[in-house]
Amino acid sequence: MARSATVTARDTKSIATTRARTRPATRPSRAAAKIGPGATPDAAVDAASATANSQRLIEFYRLMLLIRRFEERAGRSYTSALIGGYLHLNLGEEAFIAGTAGGMEPTDYLFTNYREHGFALARGASPGRVMAELYGRTDGLSKGWGGSMHMFDLNHRLMGGYGIVGGQLPLATGAALAIAYRGGHEAVVATMGDGTTNIGAFHESLNLAALWDLPVVFVVDNNELGMGTSVERSSAQPDLHKRAASYKMESARVDGLDPLAVFEATRHALGRARAGHPFLLEAMTVRLKGHSVVDPASYRSKGESAKARSRDPLARVSRRLLELGAANEEQLTAWESQADDAAAAADKFARASPLPPVDSLFDHTYATPVANQSRRLPGDPLFPVPPRPLRTLPVGSLPTAGTASAVVP
Ligand SMILES: Cc1ncc(C[n+]2csc(CCOP(=O)(O)OP(=O)(O)O)c2C)c(N)n1
Ligand SMILES: [Mg+2]
């Protein structure tokens, strides 16, 4: 499939213009209406929590902007053939990521899939190191060995980054089992796509987590599409959170376009998990572009694509900030350009980072050297493996059928 059929400069621009230029609503917020003469003590509490929520919403929005600008820039570099391999972007899932990561504690562990750049940023990895990983450079989060789908950052307890659909789920369940043995406050969050709920590992993991009361929250990012197949066409029970019932597991569905709702839901689910009740959370998100950057998403009608664009979470949150009076147009514009600058700086850092030396290509393939095996792949033209000396056998020495084996190595 030709890359030219993917994210064009015009396309990215249309996504980049995420902020609907709406007027601030004249209607005051619920909490603001309660302040002033006649306000009750409860109103003061309400107002304080409204302020805290506005502050949190601003932080989430700025993170969402960073993810959006980062992803758009990565998409451009990919279509310019500066980034190789696959590239799956988080365009449309920014609110979900901000809320999920925001609801976790720094000591919690996150296992996710190949659509994870935003999660790496949200967990606190430097944008430059995340971008350098996409470029396959030594300063990358996985030293350039992992690329887009395999980001690891132990410092921020980001445990990958997996290209095999559902591959992260048994590992996350195992990590939760280790925590259960060890004791303590930590918990595990395992995110996945909607299509992943039809993989065997999903059911095996939920079953064991429920049987053993593990501190794990399974989070489904329901962007309504596997690669190109809708949930309705692929899942007999399209209300995916209801699948938890098979395992007597608690579950909920949340609006994945609302970062505060996702934040609250994640905190609640993690609270339950820490108390030994694993949880299945389903967040309804949207995928603004194709499955990966090379997918023109021609299986979606124009109407469906337009509907997806109308659900852009950035436009929603910026509108809400204006309505709440938590930000004005100038602030929104300033935050946009700060996010632009951060993505540009990440790109510059990545391009300046050296490529790993060629002879380190197979380093870290094995945790420990495997006995009697070359570290290089046999037949690899870069690292020729010395041919094995051929043994010529004297005539008549070959074993005949039925005789004890004279094994010829
Ligand atoms: C075991 C396995 N089967 C198939 C694939 C190919 N594949 C990659 S992503 C994907 C769709 C997954 O959809 P979903 O879980 O909804 O995640 P999304 O990409 O929408 O985030 C498939 C089938 C794979 N990587 N691994
Ligand atoms: Mg999906």
Residue 23's contacts (CB-CB under 8 Å, 6 or more residues apart) are 322
Phi, psi (rounded to 5 degrees) for 23? -75, 155
pLDDT at 224: 95
Ligand nearest to the CA of 200: 1
Residue 191 Cα to ligand 1 middle (Å): 13
Residue whose CA lies nearest to ligand 1 atom number 7: 165
Supply the range of the domain harboring residue 280: 44-355
Q: Return the bridge partners of 217, or none.
A: 189, 279
Q: Is residue 19 part of a domain?
A: no
* CA–CA gap between residue 250 and residue 256 (Å, rounded): 18
What span, in angstroms and rounded, lies between the C-alpha atoms of 135 and 67? Answer: 17
Yes or no: say if 259 and 64 are a contact pair by the CB < 8 Å rule.
yes
Spatial distance between the Cα atoms of 46 and 61, rounded to a whole number of angstroms: 22
For residue 193, how far is its CA from the centre of ligand 1 (angstroms)?
8
Closest CA to 102 of 131, 143, 132, 63: 63
Taking alpha carbons only, the member of 141, 146, 280, 136 closest to residue 203 is 280
User: Does residue 265 form part of some domain?
Assistant: yes
| Ligand 1 pocket at CB < 6 A | 115, 163-165, 192-196, 221, 223, 225-227, 291
Residue 388 belongs to a domain: no
Residue 210: which of 271, 276, 120, 269 has the closest Cα? 276
Split into its structural domains, the chain has a count of: 1
Rounded Cα distance between 221 and 93, Å, is 8
Residue 208 lies in a domain: yes
Residue nearest ligand 1's atom 20 by CA: 226
Supply the pLDDT for residue 50: 85
Atom 8 (ligand 1) nearest CA: 165
Cα torsion angle, 224, 68, 312, 221, sign:
positive
Asked whether residue 386 is domain-assigned, the answer is no
Domain of 167, CATH number, reads 3.40.50.970
Are 19 and 315 spatial neighbours (Cβ–Cβ below 8 Å)? yes
Residue pair 133/149 in contact by the 8 Å Cβ criterion: no
Both tokens assigned to 64:
């969402």
Q: From the first residue on, what is the mean pLDDT of each consecutive set of 10 residues in the chain (409 residues)?
A: 34 38 36 44 82 95 98 98 97 98 98 98 98 98 95 97 98 97 96 98 98 98 96 97 98 98 98 98 97 95 96 98 97 98 98 91 63 54 57 58 38
Are the beta carbons of 269 and 107 closer than 8 angstroms? no
Query: Which residues sit opposite 255 in a β-bridge?
Result: 284
Distance between CA atoms of residues 87 and 385, nearest Å: 33
Q: Does residue 149 fall inside a structural domain?
A: yes
CA-proximal residue: ligand 1, atom 10 (nearest) = 227
Residue nearest to atom 25 of ligand 1 (CA): 164
**Which DSSP symbol is given to 291?**
S
**Residue 101: its H or E element:** helix 94-103
- Buried b / exposed e along 124-140 (16+ C-beta atoms within 10 A): ebbbbbbbbbbbbbebb
Q: Are 88 and 114 in contact (CB under 8 A)?
A: yes
- Ligand 2 center–CA 140 separation, angstroms: 26
**Measured in angstroms, how far is the CA atom of residue 169 from the centroid of ligand 1?**
13
Distance from the CA of 164 to the center of ligand 2, in angstroms? Answer: 14
Dist. CA 152 → ligand 2 center (Å): 22
C-alpha to C-alpha distance for 375 and 388, rounded to whole angstroms: 16
Q: What is the model's pLDDT at position 387?
A: 59
Closest CA to 244 of 257, 255, 253: 253
Distances (CA, A) of 223 to 133, 166, 268, 409: 25, 16, 22, 54
Q: pTM for the whole thing?
A: 0.83
Write down the pLDDT at residue 309: 97
Residue 275 inside a domain? The answer is yes
Cα 191 from Cα 195, distance rounded (Å): 12
The closest-lying atom of ligand 1 relative to the alpha carbon of residue 93 is 21
Count H helices and E strands in the chain, helices first.
13, 5
Residue type, 194: D
Q: Which stretches of 28-182 are assigned E, i.e. beta strand?
A: 109-111
400 in a structural domain: no
